[in-house]
Amino acid sequence: MTSEKENQATSVDTAAAAAASSIPPPTWAQLRIVAVRSAIPMIGFGFMDNLVMIQAGEAIDMSLGVAFGLSTMTAAGFGQCFSDVAGLTCGGLVDATVAKLQLPHHNLSLAQMDLKVTRTCSTLGGCVGVVTGCLLGMSCLLFMDTDKADRAKKAKELQSIFESVIVEGHRLINAERATLWMIDQQDDSDSSSDDKKKSILWSRVASGVDGIIEAPMEGSIVGECVRTQQIIHIPDAYQDPRFDRNVDQQTGFRTQSVLAVPVKDDTGKIVGAIQMMNKKDEQGNHIPFGEGDIKCAQMLGSHVSCFIRVVNAG
């Protein structure tokens, strides 16, 4: 009985082999067409998948991520959900677009399409197409500030801690405005040197100002304070050549006296600066900052350093 079954199986295999050998093999030109016809739709799907995922993930990271402290990977996961939905709902659009291209047909039969060599070329073409599409979809990263969400999240983490220091601090010193500036390293694609990192100053903790603000490291008083790591005290800003009057013209604020104090971490590395503007006396008159104000600002800087260490440790 066993021999009979083995004979039947051998006969089936022989028949299948004979049938396969009778199928004319595809030509290399036909296989190339199979690969191209598999690759073109996958380019569209890969492009849409990565583009939607990145854009949706960035939007979620900047909104829900900042508001609820979600990680960037979590935001990317939510972005992938949007990407999958977009791919499912727009699949017909991609197919219709590819159909309009009038790609050459391979003219292979179903049996020829089922051959191993044909299926291999179709799979390889699809893989090349989807990778190409994904890389094209990632091109939007060239025009995005990928560190913006991280800065916003860090600013939110530091907001409540720094507010108590800066708000109460500027009241204690009796200054019209107080700002805590932090250093951020960014890629400088325009730099010709090997070190393509440039430093900018950003803040979200500024009395009288909403949102994240930035200041250049070059051409600003607080930037010079950070670069030189020295206290800068200017009794009359408009008499100092380092002061940029355009800022006052844009904001409508009239800067008079300025005090900038560097903030360092436990290792002595500069991490930012505290800037106070427009010291007033008890009668509300503008006066220069005094030695007591400088010591008070330095004390605030020490507190900020401690808070930064706690946040970074968390």
Q: Which residues make beta-bridge pairs with 261?
A: 274
Compute the 3-state secondary structure of the chain and give helix, strand, coil in percent, each to the nearest 5: 60, 15, 25
- Are 236 and 257 in contact by the 8 Å Cβ rule? The answer is yes
The whole-number mean pLDDT for each consecutive block of 10 residues of the chain, a chain of 314 residues, reads: 57 54 86 93 91 91 81 88 86 79 88 92 95 93 81 70 72 86 66 54 66 77 91 91 76 86 88 91 88 90 80 61
Q: Which residues make beta-bridge pairs with 275?
A: 179, 260
Q: The pTM is what?
A: 0.53
pLDDT at position 24? 87
pLDDT at position 210? 62
- Are 279 and 294 in contact by the 8 Å Cβ rule? The answer is no
| Chain center to CA of 124 | 32
pLDDT by residue (tens digit) across 98-141? Answer: 788 888 888 998 988 999 999 999 999 999 999 999 999 999 88
Place of tokens 């004319």: 24
- Are 134 and 83 in contact by the 8 Å Cβ rule? The answer is no
pLDDT at position 195? 45
pLDDT by residue (tens digit) across 56-85? Answer: 988 898 888 877 878 888 988 999 999 989
